[in-house]
Amino acid sequence: MAKAGLKIVKDKDFDGDYEKGTLLIVEPIEQTGITSKTVSALDANKEVTKAYPSHRIQLPPQPPKNAPNGAGTEKKVEQQSKRIKVNQAAPMAPNPVIPNDPEFGQLWGMKQINASVAWTSNTSSPVIVAVIDTGIDYNHPDLKPNLWASPSGAFGFNAIPGSDPNDPYDDNGHGTHCAGTIAAVGGNKYGVAGVNWNVKVMGLKFLDSEGSGDDFDAIRCIDFAIGNGAKVLSNSWGSYAEVPEIEEAIGRAQLSGALFIAAASNDRVNNDGANPSYPSSYDADNIIAVMSVDPNGSMSSFSNYGARSVDLAAPGRDILSTLPAENFEMKSGTSMATPHVAGAAALLWGHPKYKLADWSEIKTALCKPSRSGAMSC
């Protein structure tokens, strides 16, 4: 490594030989940056299996609280006929289920996706949902009963170098907010209700307290999720850098039988264009790319969109959900829309009709148009 002008960041104190397949993070000895020539030279080294540059990933920008509703007549939603609905129960169910959670009345998104109708069939899911994000507050009373735990008692995985891998605690709040929409306990007379009242949520952390992380660590989270049985991967993060290794990891998720739900981002960009947002725009069959809509059903003014690159629209403005330290707060963004779809996928897997379904059947059910033109499953 020294001959290449590089030093090992991870495991830098190790003085022996590395086993084949060991992942190493390196950086320049001098502050000159790693060039494509350096990466090519490492790739050509017989002792290196694969070398690739690391890209920084950020949470999508949080839309301003005074952002206007709707997107204007010049940007009518290409996905207007593709709004998510989880009405797998009879369309005219006589007694929709209304949970006793005190803040449920503020969850306009649950009403828009017809959750109360779906809950007449089932409120639980047998699958594991991985929230790949800033981690999760595993002490939150509205989440704790629904947390996945490893045999050692860890509630997920922390991929940030130098951190305790068994401690995915959320020091930002974004991941906890996403988790609440998917899996806040319903019917417990406390807080809010998630799309699933009873499901196992795995907290995976690669984004730090500032909402920033490396693609290498995102890949480690994806692989941890599929290696531990997750069937729905919720991803409310992204960048405009195309990273083949992330696409390969999503392909591994597909081979494991998992869906990869991804936010379209919040820059008012057409992802069909030359500079789309990733990972939602990768060409993997198991991806469901999600844009945001407002309470009136119009595309949110901040949302990315795309007739070919975006699959579904879901509630994403002023979404109330869980925050660390037993708090609740409204947030907006495609980050908030994505867990509505991840939750719907998990809930659908719990429906008697779909308990033996594979990922492609779940995606087809979520994305098929009903006679009314809305998405139904």
Confidence of residue 62 (pLDDT cuts 50, 70, 90): confident
Cα 348 from Cα 320, distance rounded (Å): 22
Does the domain formed by 58-376 have CATH 3.40.50.200? Answer: yes
Segment 59-70 shows an average pLDDT of 67
Compute the distance between CA of residue 244 and CA of residue 223 in angstroms, rounded to an integer: 15
Please give the order of strands across the beta sheet that includes 259-263: 156-158, 198-205, 124-133, 230-235, 259-263, 287-293, 312-315
Q: What is the mean pLDDT of residues 245-270?
A: 97
* pLDDT of 229: 98
Instruction: Write the single-letter amino acid at 181.
Output: T
Angle (CA) 277-281-286 rounded to 5° is: 140
Which region among 56-70, 150-164, 312-326, 362-376 has the lowest average model confidence (pLDDT)?
362-376
Tens of pLDDT along 188-237? 999 999 999 999 999 999 999 999 999 999 999 999 999 999 999 999 99
Angle separating helix axes 334-349 and 174-183, nearest 10 degrees: 30
User: Is pLDDT of 28 > 90?
Assistant: no
- Concatenated DSSP letters for 52-117? ----EEEPPPPPPTTPPSS--GGG--TTGGGB-----S-TT-SS------TTGGG-HHHHHTTHHH
- Residues assigned a catalytic role: 133, 174, 335
Delimit the domains of the chain by residue range. Answer: 2-53, 58-376
Over residues 113-138, mean pLDDT: 96
pTM, to two decimals = 0.83
Radius of gyration of the chain measured on its C-alpha atoms: 21
**CA 14 to CA 5: how far, in whole Å?**
18
**Pick from 318, 324, 315: nearest CA to 143:** 324
